[in-house]
Amino acid sequence: MLVRPVTVGGRELPAGTPVWSHGGGDIEHRDQHARVDASAFVTLPVRAPSLDAVRALDACFGLGPDAFEIEHADDASYWSIARCKAHGRRFLRDMRGGVAMYESTTLVEDAERDDDPETLWRRYHAMPIDLLFHLGRTR
């Protein structure tokens, strides 16, 4: 999976695009080949960061509901934005999957602190879970 945009066959592919790796930075997407820096892609599946790793970003990660205030909730699409009481940082709690559902929690970037909740949800929900795990802010 690509972790940053690259051009393959004259077409720019965004981060999160699945590609075949033929080793040594040679990738393939829809019968088109390209040679890219090995740091442009990762193998799947990507492991979720450890609780210790995400708590290093914010100590409130993984705490119970008493540590947060719900800023916005969308019951129809099963997601919410929670703000930690201790630091005021925002977390996206998002129900993902299809037949099997699971919740992911993403620490929202500080630069996105004023973004509209719907905009945040659309941005992060559109990313594959493996890319979110790779970015290290989702568990």
Count of CB atoms situated within 10 Å of the CB of 90 = 24
Rounded to whole angstroms, how far apart are CA atoms 14 and 2? 7
- pLDDT tops 90 at residue 90: yes
Per residue in 107-123, pLDDT tens? Answer: 999 999 899 999 999 99
Per residue in 9-34, pLDDT tens? Answer: 999 999 999 999 998 899 999 999 99
Count of CB atoms situated within 10 Å of the CB of 95 = 14
pTM over 0.85: yes
Rounded to whole angstroms, how far apart are CA atoms 18 and 136? 19
Rounded to whole angstroms, how far apart are CA atoms 61 and 52? 9
Phi/psi for 19 (5° steps) reads -135, 160
pLDDT at residue 89, rounded to an integer? 96
Per residue in 33-76, pLDDT tens? Answer: 999 999 999 999 999 999 999 999 999 999 999 999 999 999 99
